[in-house]
Chain A
Amino acid sequence: MASNSSTGTADDAADLPSGFVRAVGRPAVRVVRAVGSAGYLSRDAVQALRKVDLWGAHLLPQMWAVGVASVPIALFIAVFTGIVLALQASYTFTGAVPLYFVGALVGKTIMLELGPVLTGLALSGRVGANIAAEIGTMRVTEQIDALETLAYDPVAYLVVPRVLAGAIMFPAIVVLATAVGIAAGWGTSLFLLDMSSPEFFKGLRLFFEPWDVQFAAIKAVSFGIIVTATGCFFGYTTRGGAAGVGHATTRAVVVASMIILVLDAFWAAVLL
């Protein structure tokens, strides 16, 4: 027993580095492979832009699916964000800062940060998951192979219209959500905080810069591309059956959400 125990300990010690290397190495290799595959898919998507005959007819339906159908959830989030921001700003400012600063905080925060980011995160769940599940199901049921055998470039047919729709429609949704969020903050200030409209708009105008709108639009375009491209990538590379589609969908949402937050910090550091 003693001998076995001693041998076992020695083996464990010997296995430790290789076990560690394996535990770290395998996920690292998977990540590097995924990044490589994403690079190839991006290259193919850029090259497929010239095949307008394949993606052109699908752009409008995708803009509807990605954009118009997402308006209710985006507005729902915007309304409650505006209400909460106005109430919390009032709570924080009372007795210390003039109350018209509520308008400044609501406008600036929604325009620069919460409008694009919360909308992006919500749409990564609605749009990104939907795209990953749809394309993933097409992959595991050989519909993508069928497209190829019928001489369709699946990247031009499936990926390009979705990513373009995201890039076009996300800024529109974010602008709408920002306007509605600010309006909700205004309504809250009027009816719950005893502020007047001139007071609210005085604060709103105080720190407003036209550049803020461009900044929000740049973020929205990048989030739109990330959410749709991530959904397409995980759907396109799905393996296995229903479980594979489930994994692809989850990964699409998680990865897109993480990239949105990283991009959010990146744009703030680079553009502000």
Chain B
Amino acid sequence: MSIVLHDLHKSFGEKEVLRGFSLEVEEGQTLSIIGGSGAGKSVTLKHIVGLHQPDSGEVWVDGKAVSHLNQEALYELRRQVGYVFQFAALFDSMTVQENVGMGLRRIEGMSESDIAERVGECLALVELEGYGSHLPSELSGGQRKRVGLARAIATEPGYLLYDEPTTGLDPVTTAVIDRLIKRMREQLGVTGLVITHDMTSAYRISDRIAMLYEGRVRFEGTPDELKACEDPVVRGFIQGDPDLMAQK
């Protein structure tokens, strides 16, 4: 039960986004990927669920090479991976309840009452009981992200991928989301991969942190190792000091 990314290369037109990116997320761990905007963090995440195909290199999830799976096998794998989108990506014509139940409807043998029960459990887990009949447009940004998380965990996946789960949220809502991410690991044993710019969040939720820079991993280690890192690029990024980053 691990995610392995090996020597990934990916270009969009002439822009080379990933240039030999390699990383491993071990079972039960939460690993955060930090890095500047446009560094390729979200692209990396989309490779894991087969939304992008690498130009070269390979992604293994649960021992399966993602780019070699046929469509049915890929959908089977995706049932094991929950994806929390940056802007929640809720289906705006559906209620919260319908959104959270979408993944469950793809599982054979689940009755309507089973789905309703599971949706209720997931909404309770993200502290949104009573919001089932609301439309996404009636929710705040933080609530939408929590619905996105509830939708991602509804099928009880072994892996959760979070694309900037706290971007644009106030500190209190950020802390609530961070607490939920930690709870996913502690209570459900989920292996997590988090894309974030928020260093406070990264320190709070991560077992390990990797920094993506110029298409490769520049640093990987525990939060304490990151704090002690002397690499000017890494230090410049976490301190928000572009002059220090320029000393590379």
Contact = CB atoms under 8 A, between A and B. Distances in A.
B247 interface: no
A88 interface: no
A142 B81 CA distance: 17
A141 B85 CA distance: 10
Nearest to B71: A153
A145 B81 CA distance: 13
A148 B103 contact: no
Interface string B205-229: 0000000000000000000000000
Given A151-B106, A152-B106, A146 B75 contact: no
Contacts of B89: 141-143, 145-146
B65 interface: no
Contact of A151 (B86, B91, B103): B103
A149 interface: yes
Contacts of A146: 83, 85, 89-91, 151
Given A142-B85, A142-B87, A145-B46, A150 B51 contact: no
Interface in A123-179: 141-143, 145-153
B49 interface: yes
A150 B91 CA distance: 12
B51 A149 contact: yes
Interface residues of A, number: 12
B75 A145 contact: no
Contacts, number: 48
Interface string A52-68: 00000000000000000
A153 B70 CA distance: 13
Contacts of B78: 148-151
Interface string B68-94: 000100011011011101110111100
Interface in B78-117: 78-79, 81-83, 85-87, 89-92, 102-103, 106
B196 to A, nearest CB: 17
A44 to B, nearest CB: 9
Contacts of B83: 145-146, 149
A125 B22 CA distance: 48
A148 B91 contact: no
B46 A150 contact: no
A96 B113 CA distance: 75
A152 B86 CA distance: 20
Given A142-B87, A143-B89, A143-B91, A148 B102 contact: no
A222 B176 CA distance: 53
Interface of B: 46, 49-51, 71, 75-76, 78-79, 81-83, 85-87, 89-92, 102-103, 106, 151
15 contacts: A143-B90, A143-B91, A145-B83, A146-B89, A146-B90, A146-B91, A148-B50, A148-B78, A149-B51, A149-B81, A150-B151, A151-B76, A151-B78, A151-B79, A152-B102
Give the top 3 A-B pairs by smallest Cβ distance, nearest first. A142-B89, A149-B83, A146-B89
Given A142-B86, A145-B51, 8 more contacts: A141-B89, A142-B85, A142-B89, A143-B89, A143-B91, A149-B82, A150-B106, A151-B78
